[in-house]
């Protein structure tokens, strides 16, 4: 079994030399419909060995990829989720060149502790109260206060991020929403802090939009969370709660490039892959998407004019 991302092309870098710090989180605690997310990280890592190291532009792996040991996901959600935050903090804390966390899930609940860890680290380094926004690609809003009784459900994770952590949020590709979530969104729209914005699938998919408006005052650094059910099930049927009408492949790539151009991606996750035995196309699609995002980030860091973006946490402040 492959233990590190793109093993074979690139030996696992030491964390001191890697731009990307991959954290596998084989967590499956509260999934509500189809199961299997515990095997998501290993399948993405296995599929990554089939990637071309040249992504069509250059070789993002040359920036260095370190793959950490998987987070221990045994125990209750209350026990597991803090370990995710600790793993992200250890990625950010122990290395003076600030590796960029890439969290591979696992169910979506793991995003909240990961966002908290990145936010706290950025607060410490920038002194800003709100140093980070979240951009979420997802079929579901995940804004329920609790689901099946649990506030730690994957269906409540963005409520934790927006309401509990107070982090500004942009949702992209949502097409399955409860009345409660609609009400929460509309109430949040009337508040300015923290901002909550959305570009639902019905608005962007039929018109093939690959750019969204990010308000000028949205934080300059973002945590990108990619719930794979945001993609159309033709690309990724391997997820617990697939919903038709999702983002297309090239639309997704263009959208991600647009985000990478507009903001500094400080960390990202790819969550909710629930592998289907015998069907490896989705595993490969997500390994490729992960590598494409790495490429966009690596290039934005080295682009002329990116200035302080060379290093994720020491850039200039402002949009």
Of the candidate residues 98, 227, 232, 288, the single one contacting Mn ion (CB under 5 A): 227
Rounded Cα–Cα distance for residues 88 and 103 (Å)? 8
User: Beta strand 100-105 with 133-137: parallel, antiparallel or unpaired?
Assistant: unpaired
Q: Any contact of residue 138 with Mn ion (CB under 5 A)?
A: yes
End-to-end CA distance of the chain: 42
| Angle at CA of residue 157, ends 233 and 195, nearest 5° | 100
Site string for Mn ion, 81-120 (x = CB under 5 A): ---------------------------x------------
Binding residues for Mn ion, total number by CB under 5 A = 5
Site string for Mn ion, 30-69 (x = CB under 5 A): ----------------------------------------
Q: How far is the CB of 160 from Mn ion (least distance, A)?
A: 12
Region of 133-141, 170-178, 262-270, 283-291 interacting with Mn ion (CB under 5 A): 133-141
Q: Any contact of residue 142 with Mn ion (CB under 5 A)?
A: yes
61 contacts 4 by C-beta, under 8 angstroms? no
Structure tokens at 101: 């966390």
3-class DSSP state of 149:
coil
Closest residue to Mn ion, based on beta-carbon distance? 227
Q: Any contact of residue 283 with Mn ion (CB under 5 A)?
A: no
CB atoms within 10 A of CB 42: 19
Rounded Cα–Cα distance for residues 204 and 251 (Å)? 9
Q: How far is the CB of 228 from Mn ion (least distance, A)?
A: 9
Binding residues for Mn ion (CB under 5 A)? 108, 138, 140, 142, 227
């Amino acid at each position: 079994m492959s233990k590190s991302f793109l093993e074979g092309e690139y030996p696992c870098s030491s964390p001191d030399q890697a731009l990307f710090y991959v954290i596998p989180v084989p967590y499956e605690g509260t999934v509500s419909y189809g199961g299997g997310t515990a095997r998501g990280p290993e399948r993405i890592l296995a599929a990554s060995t089939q990637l071309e190291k040249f992504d069509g532009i250059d070789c993002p792996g040359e920036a260095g990829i370190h793959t950490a040991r998987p987070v221990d996901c045994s125990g209750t959600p209350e026990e597991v989720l803090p370990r995710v935050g600790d793993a992200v903090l250890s990625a950010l804390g122990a290395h003076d060149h600030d590796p960029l966390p890439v969290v591979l899930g696992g169910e979506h609940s793991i995003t909240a502790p990961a966002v908290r860890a990145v936010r706290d680290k950025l607060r410490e380094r920038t002194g800003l109260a709100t140093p980070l926004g979240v951009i979420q690609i997802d079929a579901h809003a995940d804004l329920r206060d609790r689901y099946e009784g649990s506030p730690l459900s994957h269906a409540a994770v963005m409520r934790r991020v927006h309401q509990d952590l107070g982090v500004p949020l942009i949702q992209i590709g949502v097409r399955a929403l409860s009345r409660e979530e609609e009400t929460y969104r509309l109430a949040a729209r009337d508040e300015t802090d923290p901002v909550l914005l959305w570009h639902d699938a019905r608005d962007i998919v039929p018109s093939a939009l690959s750019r969204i408006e990010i308000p000028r005052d949205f934080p300059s650094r973002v945590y990108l969370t990619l719930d794979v059910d945001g993609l159309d099930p033709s690309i990724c049927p391997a997820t617990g709660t697939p919903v038709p009408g999702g983002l297309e492949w090239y639309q997704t790539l263009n959208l991600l490039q647009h985000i990478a151009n507009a903001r500094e991606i400080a960390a990202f996750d790819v969550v909710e892959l629930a592998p289907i035995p015998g069907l490896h196309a989705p595993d490969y699609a997500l390994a490729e998407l992960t590598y494409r995002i790495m490429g966009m980030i690596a290039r934005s860091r080295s682009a002329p004019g990116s200035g302080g973006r060379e290093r994720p946490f020491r850039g200039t402040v402002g949009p």
